[in-house]
Amino acid sequence: MCGIAGLVAWWQGQARNRQVIDAMTATQHHRGPDDAGVWVDDHVAFGHNRLAIIDRSGGAQPMLVRRPGSGEVAITFSGEVYNHFQLREQLTAAGHRFTGRSDTEVVLRAYLHWGEDFVHHLRGIFAFGLWDCDLELLLLVRDRLGVKPLYFARTPTDVVFGSELKALLAHPDITAEVDTEGLGELLGLVPMTSPGHAVLRGIEEVPPATVLRYDRDGLTRRHYWQLESHPHLDDRETTVRRVRDLLERAVIEQAAADVPVGALLSGGLDSSAVVALAAGTTTQPLLTFDVDHGSAAAHAASAFHRSHDHPYALAVARHAATEHRTVEVGTGDLLRAHDATLCSMDLPSLTTINASLSHLFARISPHRRVVLSGEGADELFAGYRWHDAAAAPRGTFPWSSTYQPLVGVLRRETLRQVRPVRYARQRCLAALEQMPSLDGETGPSRRLREVRWLTIVFYLAFLLRRADRLAMAHGVEVRVPFLDHRLVQYTWNIGAGLHRARGLEKGLLREAVDGLLPEQVTWRPKSGYPASLTAPYQDALWERARELLAEPGAPVFRLVSARRLKALLDVNHGHLDDWTATQHVAYVLELDAWLRRYSVSIR
């Protein structure tokens, strides 16, 4: 999957650029423990950390090819192009000659063949920087759904990019600063961020399905793909059949690699469906993994998690004849994972679910470099409980009762300056302005489309960022068959009437995979990934928070009221059913640790 970094600097020398790109590349060793490389030319420097998945003996990066009779084109690439075999055949027939088997070389030769239109031919999950020496042109490209990360910034002398924020912060002219808008992201949208927003001042995230183009004339950007809204004309039977076909194709395509592929198996519908389809593509038993919080976990402590997953994971593993491994997680594991989780995410996030996932990937890493995941199915098939509340006021995030802005513990000065609730409303309305609307659609149908759009733009983006950072921190690549863009486009226009069956959410998906899974799994009500809420874990959080209160000069108290934090601790200690209180306490601790670790200045 790899980590990428790079810069373009018109007036700096190669020696300086080499020093900077070495520092940037070193910060992302975890993303590519197999190899590292840099390439420096007159105005550009690329760095790469390699996790070898395809063409392990070749495929080293940064990679260069020469345009016939002219100069070179270079690339630093992260991700996978799933249709690289087909593209290779097409390009070979057009006269291109390949020196290796990697999908990276396919991307380079696709650019030579189609020019900047080459992005339309790529199917997969990717982020890359491409430099054309003849044109002195940099292209920064991100996949259609934003599965792979890509950040960029402009300094007085450079354009800088990388897979993670830490790579950009290694540049000598980029520092960790947060202004009022960044605070709005941190305090009003917990744990999400607005499209394209990187929280830190001066840094942006390249939006999904976007090409940034930079040359001596400046920086431009364009979207090369977007969802299209139109009436869904297929009947239920046709729709079910089409969903099954698209999902099956995506799983088969994404299960291909030069290394053994495993799968996450929670026991829920989504991961179970992927496992059942993938198990039939392997010559050896598919290796699957689940995480078990044990009998002490408060499995119903959030509105997402309703029942214990582990028995269902075992049932699917037996049914699909996988080789299954369970990773047990306890309070000590969660606490030990806290600091590593923050370092992986680069931003305050949601430790109560992130820590156990980080622990899971750490245990997967020695056994598999690639795992399939069921991520994205809830967004496609209206699987969250808030999809049933499509009548929620416009301008309000549909998950606002589950993820609440951090207003209850903030200082009055912070509230006056940032206005987190108003900021969240502005971001919500701004996102809705970008939604591809269907002419004539009104009422509940229109509102459901808005809810689904917000869920894709904000919540899915958070889940993908979490999965990428926590997995890649341990050298594991996560593939997401449900987010094949053809399946995403097809399901986007399916109306509410087709999404339910037998009174359950995701009824359409359940019907599409009916017969693949044990009946009790196919028709099991949704139960989300469990929050790590146990009495010992909460006790440990409360103890850390009280230690923080004993340090009045802690950086977080520039934003948070010590008095209000103490009141929250006093009222909610021992109340595991209060998801918001535990979430906010954990977030305050993470916010303080982030301000310290990254030496963040507040403007």
- pLDDT tens digit string along 202-228? 999 999 999 999 999 999 999 999 999
CA dist 287 and 355 (Å) reads 23
- Report yes or no: 188 and 423 within 8 Å, Cβ to Cβ: yes
| Averaged pLDDT score across all residues of the chain | 92
Rounded mean pLDDT of 151-159? 96
Q: What 3-state DSSP class applies to 560?
A: strand
pLDDT at residue 1 in the model:
65
Q: Report which of 572, 500, 504 is spatially closest to residue 538, judged by C-alpha positions.
A: 572
Average pLDDT rounded to a whole number, residues 505-513: 93
Overall CATH class of domain 3-223 = alpha beta
Name the H helices within 94-147: 103-114
Q: Does the pLDDT of residue 340 top 70, yes or no? A: yes
Predicted local distance difference test score (pLDDT) of residue 298: 43
What backbone torsions phi and psi does residue 102 show, to the nearest 5 degrees?
-80, 155
The more confident residue out of 339 and 160 is 160
The one-letter code for the residue type at 534 is T
Find out if CATH 3.40.50.620 is the number for domain 247-393+452-522: yes
Q: Where, residue-wise, is CATH 3.40.50.620 in the chain?
A: 247-393+452-522
CB atoms near residue 156 (< 10 Å):
5
Residues with a catalytic annotation lie at 2
Write out the two tokens for 30.
């975890």
> Which range, 64-68, 128-132, 393-397, is most confident?
128-132
Cα angle 339-342-347, degrees, rounded to a multiple of 5: 155
Say which residues have a Cβ less than 8 Å from residue 373's Cβ, sequence separation at least 6: 263, 264, 271, 274, 467, 478, 479, 480
Is pLDDT at 577 greater than 80 in this prediction?
A: no
Q: Nearest-CA neighbor of 78 among 29, 18, 32, 121?
A: 32
pLDDT at 57: 74
Exposed/middle/buried for residue 282 (C-beta within 10 Å: 0-12, 13-18, 19+): middle
- The answer to whether residue 235 scores a pLDDT higher than 60 is yes
Q: What is the mean pLDDT of residues 320-349?
A: 91
56, two tokens: 């392990």
Give the contacts of 261 (CB within 8 A, at least 6 positions apart): 255, 278, 282, 286, 368, 370, 371, 372, 479
CA gyration radius for the chain?
24
Residue keyed to tokens 């026991």: 267
pLDDT value at position 303?
47
205 forms beta bridges with: 151
**How far apart are the C-alpha atoms of 245 and 583, rounded to whole Å?**
40
Q: Residue with structure tokens 């969240």?
A: 424
Q: Are strands 44-50 and 3-9 parallel, antiparallel or unpaired?
A: antiparallel
Q: Where does CATH 3.60.20.10 sit in the chain?
A: 3-223
| Model confidence pLDDT, tens digit, residues 433-453 | 999 999 999 888 888 899 999
**pLDDT in the model for residue 530:** 63
Token output for 471: 């997995």
Put simply, whether the predicted model's pTM sits higher than 0.75 gets the answer: yes
Is a pLDDT exceeding 70 seen at residue 299? no
Confidence of residue 392 (pLDDT cuts 50, 70, 90): low
The more confident residue out of 109 and 529 is 109
- Residue 44's H or E segment, with its range, is strand 44-50
**Confidence bin at 574 (pLDDT 50/70/90):** low
